[in-house]
Chain A
Amino acid sequence: MSATALSVEGLRVDLHTPGGVLRAVDDVSFAVRKGRTLALLGESGCGKSLTAQSIVGLLDPIAEVTGGAVHIGGTDVLTLDHAGRRELAGPVLSIVFQDALTALNPVQPVGRQLAEPFRIHKGLSRRAAKAEAVELMARVGIPEPKARYRAYPHQFSGGMRQRLLIAMAVALGPDVLLADEPTTALDVTVQAQIMRLLSDLQSERDMAVVLITHDLALVAEQADDVAVMYAGNVVETGPVREVFDHPRHPYTKGLLDSVPEHAVKGAALPAVPGSPPELSAIPSGCVFQARCPLATARCADERPRLEPSGDGRATACHFTEELSRA
């Protein structure tokens, strides 16, 4: 078994809003090994992006990490100051954002943006950095990289911009790459190209990848392991194939059942009733109780903890045993 590249333990993030302090990420834990992909799966507002932003240190000022640890290679990155963070950003840890147009600087040629990490972290000369950047552009599939070096972000298509962003993220060979909905804005044929590029780069460089997404099918195709999040909590983790074939949390099961792919054509889909709770109205017991077909009085009183079951999986549910026997 390869070494753990990233481990998150008991992460808590609070949001300071005019209406008071809201807990958006509550006791989130997961780990990713070298060369493996973990998907952080959840709906909008479940805390998956805040988790990613906490790891890379790019939280919005209203958000604050109030507990937990994030270990990368023996260091708890949450304890680092700004300078310490900067040293990690690029060579150790990097992130690919969803919206490549806002993530790139619109008034600087893309080549210069790509060359920047080589200048800053490796202290290369302008010429050497340019050579590295052009090579990288070619590697991620930008046609005519030499000529395109001087082009601006708006002169590229959405897919090409995402390739540039990926190039920047992998430039210094990070150990851990976070990808926050990297293909959500793209068409499906382009998404397939981008995901292929990401997995090729991952195996070349033995990176640990955290894929943040709401797309169940993308998780099934791309990830080795999955952490399912709901209302700020990880409710279930484990190898994707096992979790998807035999979910042990009612939320995971409800999500998978409601996907049309499994349904008889034209028949009503087994929908999960209700909708996810507002952050201001997260119940004190189990976060899923209001929508759960199994909920009892115990679920209202006591929040189930994410309990490992000894087979590489863990579930936060009072009825895990019943579900795993089903």
Chain B
Amino acid sequence: MLEVNVTAPPVLEATGLRKTFRVGRKHLTALDGVDLRIGRGETVGLVGESGCGKSTLARVLLMLARPDDGTVRFGDVNPFALRGKELLAWRRRVQMVFQDPYASLNERMTAADIIGEPWRTHRDAAPADRRARVRELLELVGLRAGDADRYPGEFSGGQRQRIGIARALALNPDLIVCDEPVSALDLSVQAQVLNLLAELQRELGVSYLFISHDLSVVRHVADRVSVMYLGKVVEEGPTEEVFDRPVHPYTAALMSAAPTLTPDRGDPILLRGEIPSPLDPPSGCRFRTRCWKATDECATPPPVVARDSRHTGLCHHPL
């Protein structure tokens, strides 16, 4: 694994991201002051339940949605300040691998067309010999060069996901957003794809934002992890520390609720209720309506608690 130098300039740094959507007469705050930092060659895990804002965050980082407030910096450039050609040139630095390899590949295009499609938009990034580069990419992701002219229907789920990964690599991105990249795959195939992603990172030095609900997968792949709840990052830090010594009760509950192969632990933390509607989130700490430690104080905004300089949480009553 790559040693991540924390002082090295990050590939991406997002600060104070806010994004709201209008839903009828109400406002839905999908991101409420989110900070995220991803180093070169680093994997950051993003965990949280449905409605927590994971997908909106991914969309903002892919520059598919503009934040209402806050900044995103790639190196020293704020891509949202760019327009036209310059913006296009920045866009290629972040690519995406989608959850469902059946829905995300066009059945009527060959593997070569799919992998080469990004070059049709980003013309100046297209290699001189596209066929040769496609063959290279196919081999890089563990397929055969001879697969170039086959159609998605001729591949298995795991192979299709490899094509999706090759497409994401076509523009030599700095960062790949992996949105549940193995959860739609057969169980016995998931490990193959996780191994491939790790190999590619070692070879190419690419960074990953790894969105997943599977905590054992995140624990295995991520260097650092951010835990989101209702539009806020409630805890972040090095993966092992967050998993072993969580600051935030929500993180602890999430870990406790996730089933494991060795279930000989004590009484699990069973939360009451479900995640509240993001249209009407609780005041102060967003988690207080389900938290067993909540007091009146929690109706006010929670303070930042630092377990150490790299591991922080937002809580009035840290664990």
Contact B220 A275 (CB under 8 A): no
Contact B261 A217 (CB under 8 A): yes
Q: A157-B274, A217-B216, A260-B219 are in contact. Are A189 and B261 (CB under 8 A)?
A: no
Q: Mark A198-233, 1 if CB is under 8 A from B, else 0.
A: 000000000000000011111011100000000000
Residue of A nearest to B2 (CB): A266
Chain A residue numbers with a CB within 8 Å of B199 are 268
Contact B219 A275 (CB under 8 A): no
Q: Mark B249-270, 1 if CB is under 8 A from A, else 0.
A: 0000110111111110000101
Contact B192 A189 (CB under 8 A): no
Chain B residue numbers with a CB within 8 Å of A215 are 259
Contact B261 A255 (CB under 8 A): no
Contact B187 A216 (CB under 8 A): yes
Contact A188 B213 (CB under 8 A): yes
Q: A44-B186, A269-B194 are in contact. Are A193 and B258 (CB under 8 A)?
A: no
Chain A residue numbers with a CB within 8 Å of B254 are 188-189
- A43, A160, A269: the one within 8 Å of B195 (CB): A269
**A270 touches B (CB below 8 Å):** yes
**A172 touches B (CB below 8 Å):** no
**B231 touches A (CB below 8 Å):** no
CB distance from A101 to the nearest CB of B (A): 14
**B246 touches A (CB below 8 Å):** no
Contact B257 A189 (CB under 8 A): yes
Q: A192-B270, A276-B188 are in contact. Are A217 and B219 (CB under 8 A)?
A: no
**Contact residues, B199-216 vs A (CB, 8 A):** 199, 213, 215-216
CB distance from A266 to the nearest CB of B (A): 4
Chain A residue numbers with a CB within 8 Å of B257 are 188-189, 191-192
**B1 touches A (CB below 8 Å):** yes
Chain B residue numbers with a CB within 8 Å of A217 are 216, 258-261, 263
| Cα-based distance from A218 to B217 in the complex (angstroms) | 15
The number of chain A residues touching the other chain, given as a range, is 35 or more
Chain B residue numbers with a CB within 8 Å of A157 are 274
**A196 touches B (CB below 8 Å):** yes
CB distance from B251 to the nearest CB of A (A): 11
Residue of B nearest to A46 (CB): B186
**B190 touches A (CB below 8 Å):** yes
**A111 touches B (CB below 8 Å):** no
Q: A221-B259, A261-B261 are in contact. Are A214 and B187 (CB under 8 A)?
A: yes
Chain A residue numbers with a CB within 8 Å of B213 are 187-188
| Cα-based distance from A243 to B13 in the complex (angstroms) | 46
Contact B270 A193 (CB under 8 A): yes
- B186, B259, B261, B290: the one within 8 Å of A262 (CB): B261
| Cα-based distance from A192 to B195 in the complex (angstroms) | 29
- B49, B159, B220: the one within 8 Å of A188 (CB): B49
Chain A residue numbers with a CB within 8 Å of B221 are 260
A contacts with B: majority SS? helix
**A89 touches B (CB below 8 Å):** no
**Contact residues, A221-279 vs B (CB, 8 A):** 221-222, 244, 251, 254-256, 258-263, 265-266, 268-273, 275-276
Contact A268 B274 (CB under 8 A): no
- Residue from A44, A256, A265, A291 whose CB has the most chain B CB atoms within 10 Å: A265
**Contact residues, B21-37 vs A (CB, 8 A):** none
**B64 touches A (CB below 8 Å):** no
Q: A220-B260, A259-B216, A269-B220 are in contact. Are A187 and B49 (CB under 8 A)?
A: yes
Contact B158 A275 (CB under 8 A): yes
Residue of A nearest to B43 (CB): A266
| Cα-based distance from A172 to B93 in the complex (angstroms) | 58
CB distance from A64 to the nearest CB of B (A): 26
CB distance from A199 to the nearest CB of B (A): 12
Q: A265-B219, A269-B195, A269-B220 are in contact. Are A43 and B259 (CB under 8 A)?
A: no
Q: Name B residues whose Cβ lies closer than 8 Å to a Cβ of A.
A: 1, 49-50, 156-159, 186-192, 194-195, 198-199, 213, 215-217, 219-221, 239-240, 253-254, 256-263, 268, 270-271, 274-275, 290
Of all A-B residue pairs in the complex, the 8 with the closest CB atoms, nearest first, are: A260-B220, A271-B191, A258-B191, A217-B259, A187-B49, A192-B257, A269-B191, A266-B1
| Beyond known contacts A255-B187, A258-B191, A260-B221: 6 more, CB 8 A cutoff | A188-B257, A222-B259, A268-B198, A271-B195, A272-B188, A272-B191
17 inter-chain pairs at a CB distance below 8 angstroms, sorted by A residue, are: A44-B186, A187-B213, A189-B271, A189-B274, A192-B256, A192-B270, A214-B187, A217-B258, A220-B263, A222-B259, A260-B217, A261-B220, A272-B191, A273-B192, A275-B157, A275-B159, A291-B188
